[in-house]
Amino acid sequence: MTSPPPKQLAEAYRYCPQCGTANPSPGQSPLRCPACGFTVFFGPYTAVGAVLVNDGGEVLFVRRARDPGKGKWGLPGGFVDAYETAEDALRREVTEETGLQIKHLEFLLTHPNRYCYQGVEAPVLDVFFACKVAGDNRITLDESELEHYRWQLPDPAMLANLAFESNRQAVLHWMHHGAV
Ligand SMILES: [Zn+2]
């Protein structure tokens, strides 16, 4: 069974969010309201992802408990809050999702992604860092988001079973450049 293609976020804005006038051209970006002039830009949201590396050179992979990508593997991370730095978002998300504390991080790369939720797709820019963690690496998963974790050397089987291409690119980049 195939699901219908996702609707783009700009298509989902059928009305001006400020005055309620019908959007004359859903899907066009930006939305410019013909009645009040209110403008909505549909630029990407920002998300962060962590290539967490332990002393043995293994990477932490987490299995997703929710869509998008339910049952597939990925890297810890999440969306950046308004007025938060990417580095702070990474520290916050890693601790929320795994209980781990980041002690050192290095920028890796960015990669575009798309986040599909309830049939609507939003553009995302993923920002990846390679990270070392503090302490004894004991993990407490946020079970509402994640159902399993595994420290391992990245191999082709894992790389083929990641929920997002951006995560795969981040791990490959780390393997080839060896940050952290
Ligand atoms: Zn309006």
CA of residue 22 to ligand 1 center, whole Å: 8
**Is pLDDT larger for residue 20 or for residue 179?**
20
CA 149 – CA 64 distance, rounded (Å): 9
pLDDT at 1 over 60: no
Give residue 155's pLDDT. 94
Query: Which residues make Cβ contacts (< 8 Å) with residue 165, sequence separation at least 6?
Result: 111, 113
Q: Are 89 and 48 in contact (CB under 8 A)?
A: yes
DSSP 52-107: EE-TTS-EEEEEESSSSSTTSEE-SEEEPPTT--HHHHHHHHHHHHH--EEEEEEE
Give residue 77's pLDDT. 96
pLDDT at 22 over 70: yes
If you search the block for the tokens 């403008």, which residue do you land on? 39
Range 138-160 average pLDDT: 90
In whole numbers, what is the pLDDT of the chain averaged over residues? 93
Range 156-179 average pLDDT: 93
CA 76 – CA 84 distance, rounded (Å): 18
CA 129 – CA 93 distance, rounded (Å): 13
Q: Are 123 and 79 in contact (CB under 8 A)?
A: no
Give residue 104's pLDDT. 94
pLDDT 10s digits, 35-51: 999 999 999 999 999 99
Range scoring the smallest mean pLDDT among 103-107, 138-142, 159-163:
138-142
CA of residue 32 to ligand 1 center, whole Å: 8
pLDDT confidence tier of residue 138, bands split at 50, 70 and 90: confident
For the chain, what is the radius of gyration of the CA atoms? 19
CA of residue 9 to ligand 1 center, whole Å: 18
Domain 45-177 has CATH 3.90.79.10: yes
CA of residue 20 to ligand 1 center, whole Å: 6
Q: How many CB atoms lie within 10 A of CB 86?
A: 18
CA of residue 27 to ligand 1 center, whole Å: 16
Domain ranges of the chain: 1-42, 45-177
**Is pLDDT larger for residue 50 or for residue 147?**
50
CA of residue 29 to ligand 1 center, whole Å: 15
